[in-house]
Amino acid sequence: MTRIAVFISGRGSNFMALHENIKKGIIKDAEISVVFSNKEDAKGLDYAKKENIEVIVIPSKDYNNRQEYDKKIVEALKPYNIDLICLAGYMRIVTHELIKAYENKIINIHPALLPSFKGLHAQKQALEYGVKYSGCTVHFVDDGMDSGAIILQKIVEVYDDDTEDTLSERILKQEHIAYSEAVSLITSGKVVINGRKVSIKG
């Protein structure tokens, strides 16, 4: 059984999709043992409570030092024996404190085809650049921003009349599929990391 911690800062739709797919048996041998948020008012926490998933909130606004903050997270997670951390709309850069405690065990979903359009407002960046295709990327988290080894990507066509909202919505549907696929591959032991390259067994 893979014990997952999902990190959120807001709406939490990727977290919900992961949990629903675990419940349906689409992701096997896994459970979301805890949901972590840096924001007390993150909407996704309501769903966690409704589903009786344990919640940890450490408000990031109370910390000036990112390393100190991440040390607190590592301490708080210890009792849960977490095997995999899924960042799902967690809007903070994680530091080496967290990365060294969970080496190659932290993954993130980003709403663009990395390495293009890192950081905030990726969908708006893609529209403004004028790309014809965008999408989403699930990747391992390393010390850089949105720079870790890529596990999988899904492509979405960009239409002439797209707005940030319409493109984001279309990408989000693919995010929900991509994140569950990536977690399934990891929980079934099929993901092999070799430096920047990730290969999928079978």
- Alpha helical stretches, state H, the chain: 13-23, 44-50, 66-77, 96-101, 122-129, 164-187
- Which residues inside 49-78 make contact with ligand GAR, applying CB under 6 A? none
Does 135 sit near ligand GAR (CB under 6 A)? no
Distance of CA 129 to the CA centre of its chain: 24
The secondary element (H helix, E strand) that includes residue 110 is strand 106-110
Tell me the per-residue interface mask from 85 to 104 with ligand GAR, x by CB under 6 A, - otherwise. ---xx---------------
Distance of CA 162 to the CA centre of its chain: 25
Does 11 sit near ligand GAR (CB under 6 A)? yes
Residue 59 or 79: the one with the smaller Cβ distance to ligand GAR is 59
How far apart are CB 118 and ligand GAR at their closest, in Å?
8
Spatial separation of the C-alpha atoms in residues 126 and 136, rounded to whole Å: 11
How far apart are CB 45 and ligand GAR at their closest, in Å?
11
Residue 89 or 148: the one with the smaller Cβ distance to ligand GAR is 89
Helix and strand tally (H, E) in the chain? 6, 9
Tell me the per-residue interface mask from 106 to 125 with ligand GAR, x by CB under 6 A, - otherwise. ---xxx----------x---
Query: What pairs with residue 152 in β-bridges?
Result: 138
Residues within the interface to ligand GAR (CB under 6 A): 8, 10-14, 88-89, 109-111, 122, 172, 175
